[in-house]
Chain A
């Protein structure tokens, strides 16, 4: 057996060396994580939407909040529907989304006790600059009716996100039963806002986007805004603490602290101060109880 054990020793040394190498790599990461572990109470998980992340708002806002309170906010960016489901499973402390009807359902189910309006921006209809459907400057209802009549390519999020919910309600406003009347021109991609814009850019299609993501989006190609400023394109964001009675794991004090800061005059001012190329992306309106 001596021969084997010698080779075995070499093999064991190899494995130990590999383990040591991986431990070395881990060391900085673990060291970084240590203070987080020690201050485990000082972090919360926020389920939010791709629009707040892709527009860069969180990248701007969260460091300011952390500086002030020491609370680490971990954002999981999903569509509104998925974010609410993540919270329904107890996997988030706070939800920050934009579909009032879905949020009110969440409240009615008892998953949260209170919804706080935070800010708004608006949706814009994006399309090719040469505007094949000829809808530039029209109101959104006429624009959608024309897109359908001309069977111009249209990208739908198709993912139960806030933007998707808004799009479906706009089709309804236009008197079109999109579920029944959609055809090849209507493409449901089931992906985030950025992916939808990428596809629209690659296939010269129309797409509904929140203004924030559009302003921050870099791969515009031939795309531009074709319809904006219609009252029906209003986009309200709300924030809710997950009901701690449903999930005792919810960090209610820290979560509430985040919410209170967002709706405080200071938080509202920070939101208003976020700009891309001088353009404001979100308009605070926590003071509006009907929002």
Chain B
């Protein structure tokens, strides 16, 4: 247990001292993961809702795909994004590899299927309850999307939190596309991987404690803010 108490003490000391390196790493982690999950939410929530509202050929396949992609391995997504953004890749001219933008792209790719699958599940039940009356009211399916999303916003909040949780916790994708560059693309998770490899296990664990506290704080805050707006 010595390791754990040493780690806790280090964590407290790091937080109390407002270590500037640590602050930059924390800001980068939160910035990247919140932006990525916001992107995933912006893309995934209308998509998932549309999958519940519209009827078309191949719909079942898409729904299964979105759910199957819940297990998308971060390291594979990282590799694919790496190959796309590399100078020798199709999007190489933008010079995005080893930047925070590349990390946002990778995490947004990971988060989108989560949002699609959860938004779809929520929208299915809302649509079953209110879809017919909306259509009778004269709304087109397109115009029905927003009311359906609005009624399912509790579920959508969960979808956002799940995408954020996935993003803030993963290391496999961002260490490949970000390169773990000190002061530029080093996040909480890649810093933990680095400190572990340097054999500084208690410092790594201290960073881990801070990451868990942060991630819980952000999720709890989003949940409370969201619930205040949901009003239930």
Contact = CB atoms under 8 A, between A and B. Distances in A.
Interface stretch (A73-81, A131-139, A225-233, A276-284): A73-81
B197 A54 contact: yes
A59 B151 CA distance: 52
The secondary-structure label for the interface of chain A is helix
Contact of B184 (A7, A74, A89, A90): A74
B202 to A, nearest CB: 9
Interface residues of B, number: 46
A19 B38 contact: yes
A29 B31 contact: yes
A21 to B, nearest CB: 8
A118 to B, nearest CB: 20
Contact of A195 (B27, B98, B151, B197): B197
B179 A29 contact: no
B225 A22 contact: no
Interface stretch (A140-148, A158-166, A169-177, A214-222): A214-222
A29 to B, nearest CB: 5
A8 B150 contact: yes
Contacts of B194: 53
B222 A18 contact: yes
Interface string A1-16: 1001001101101110
A194 B150 contact: no
B55 interface: no
Nearest to B227: A14
A108 B217 CA distance: 54
Nearest to B137: A1
Nearest to B97: A91
Contacts of B30: 25
Contact of B199 (A13, A19, A194): A194
B198 A4 contact: no
Given A74-B181, A77-B180, A198 B38 contact: no
Interface of A: 1, 4, 7-8, 10-11, 13-15, 17-19, 21-22, 25-26, 28-29, 32-33, 36, 45, 50, 53-54, 58-59, 72, 74-77, 89-91, 191-195, 197-198, 201, 216-220, 247, 249
